[in-house]
Amino acid sequence: MKATFDHRDGALLRVLEVDGTTYGSTVPSSDAVVDPLGTWWRNYFTGIPPEPVNQAGTAIRTAEMFCGPGGFALGAKQACRELGYKYQSRFAIDSDAEATKVYDLNHDTEYLSAASVTTLVDYKIKGSRAEARMAYPPEIVDERLIEMVGEIDLLLAGPPCQGHSNLNNHTRRSDSRNELYLTVPAVAIAAQIPLVVIENVTAVVHDHSGVVETTKELLSQAGYQLTDGVIKADKLGWPQTRGRYFLVARKGSAPIPLKEVTAALAESEAKSVCWAIDDLAGLKRDHEMNRRPKMSPENMERVSWLHDKGKFNLPDELRPNCHKDGNHTYGAVYGRMKPDEPAPTLTTGFLTPGRGRFIHPREPRMLTPREAARLQGFPDTYRWRIPEQEPPPSSLLTKWIGDAVPMPLGHAAVLSALGPGPPR
């Protein structure tokens, strides 16, 4: 696979060469481009999607489990556009009912569900890892999804990651939520979906019950060919260091190896956090996406000290009492972002100085939801609304944005799945 840029007739052209097939898509550009990838993403940030040079006319019919507000779908949609396919969202499910409404508002989904994914399919697995077997053929039991069996091309899934995260010191590796991962191969097999892309935190491969190995075995037995690995956003040039583990499965032909995709998209240097958010300075604070959280006097003093002193790490004497003896491993907590480096991995705590290195690099404040959303790959045109309700509270925005999959990661993984051509 190769990815190159060219400038033609007032447009920036991105060319993808995959297995002997060439795909082209363009975004507006008036002059010769010094930073083509930056120009490409600038258009994306402002809501200008690429236009395929040759529209295939084929619609990629998608379903998503654990969909959240739709970050993973953005990467899939971007990949479809660059390959000349239409994107059709047929089904999405998440137990967060408000998140599914945001998802629908942005992706126009045919069927939404706020039920548990366990209500979709009847299945039973015997054994684990290399010994895993389906006790009987899995069967879709959701009435609406039954109608779509054999009519979905791509399944996206981001099972709950809290049970796998290294930040979870209580039930890590043995959390019962980890078993939800296994509903994904069951649904894929039962609904006869030829393309599957699963994402999770990098630590998922160390799960106590071996959910990744079990999933690989079940999919392989069902005729899927696999590729997997960790994709890091900053290695693709994106202004955040976030990494995620992806498992890509395809029937009929093998997916493009993830290493090949990431090598083609690799950049020698990542964009900085200020490259991504500097133009947002000065936006009206009364808009919910530009809200700035109130801080305690103690935290305001800490944030101001970092900026007044030109420092990025808070000394122990200015930290809470539990940190003052130096006996802690949270060096990034109460940290200020470095303006010339990519942002660290964002979490749901990006509005709170005590949750990570989330202090704005140039101003004595925290990131706004809009700035965090950009760093997570959401364009400014994304609609963070729950129809017929007030704007969502900060608690929901931080959850949705902080847990999202940055667009370039989903984009790369879906290119792996779709690169060999449409599944039908």
Q: At what angle do helices 407-418 and 71-82 cross, to 10 degrees?
A: 50
Q: Kindly state the tokens that stand for 263.
A: 């090598």
Q: Is 389 left (phi over 0), alpha (psi -120 to 50) or beta?
A: beta
- Candidates 80, 161, 274, 322; catalytic one: 161
Residue 161 designated active-site: yes
DSSP string, 64-108: EES-TTSHHHHHHHHHHHHTT-EEEEEEEE-S-HHHHHHHHHHH-
d(CA 358, CA 374): 14
d(CA 248, CA 375): 24
Answer for the pair 138, 181: CB distance below 8 angstroms, yes or no: no
Angle formed at CA 410 by CA 132 and CA 100, multiple of 5 degrees = 85
Answer for the pair 199, 178: CB distance below 8 angstroms, yes or no: no
Answer for the pair 5, 267: CB distance below 8 angstroms, yes or no: no
d(CA 292, CA 77): 31
The percent helix, strand, coil of the chain (3-state, each to 5) is 35, 20, 45
Residue 115 neighbours by CB distance under 10 Å: 12
- Which residue in 298, 331, 326, 327 sits closest to 314, CA to CA? 331
The catalytic residue positions are: 161
